[in-house]
Amino acid sequence: MDVRIEESWKYRLQEEFDKPYFAQLTQFVRGEYASGTVYPPGREMFAAFDACPFEQVRVVILGQDPYHEPGQAHGLCFSVNDGVQFPPSLVNIFKEIESDLGKPIPRSGNLMRWAQQGVLLLNATLTVRAHQAGSHQNKGWEAFTDAVIRRLATEREHIVFILWGSYAQRKGAFIDRNRHCVLQSPHPSPLSAYRGFFGNKHFSRTNEYLVQHGYKPIDW
């Protein structure tokens, strides 16, 4: 199957695109976009990959679903378009950055600036029906994003995998901790942030690991 995605990813994921589950997923997603409102816009479905080629990935932040309200989702997990009010989890992410690194909370919640520095902002499910969280789960996206993580974990070294919440931690359980840095804490959602997300210092710890292995730190 010919999928419009950044070339370095296309080369490594072609095996997935040719599997029966991906054909079924494609048929489902096309039907959803044709029959109702789906986020993100179709052209931004693979935006996380397009912004961050395979060889440039230094950090992976794993989300679950795209935002499902108008104007929010644009293909990067936890990120929203310029001018959009910050969702609660993103507010808490910025609060932790402020506490950890002393950086003031930014005016824009668009995290493309992170992606362009090598942060793959990957949702486990890449599409969602408007106003219906989880509506595109268990349709095949999870198998695809498992393959993405596996490729990175086996073909690269010294990537920081940031896994917030039990869902992300289960999805990243197979990552070799001897080859990569895996940072885990509760999710930044208001329901769980006070159980250990705040104070996790994942942003400074990420940069310490990157510098230790000869990479530039991320300007969070």
The single residue listed with the structure tokens 């001897």 is 178
Q: Give every CB contact of residue 138 below 8 A, 6+ residues apart in sequence.
A: none
What span, in angstroms and rounded, lies between the C-alpha atoms of 140 and 150?
Answer: 16
Query: What is the full DSSP assignment across 61-100?
Result: EEESS---STTT-SSSTT---TTPPPPHHHHHHHHHHHHH
Asked about 2 being catalytic, the answer comes back as: no
Catalytic residue among 65, 82, 100, 176: 65
What span, in angstroms and rounded, lies between the C-alpha atoms of 131 and 110?
Answer: 21
Give catalytic residues, as residue numbers: 65
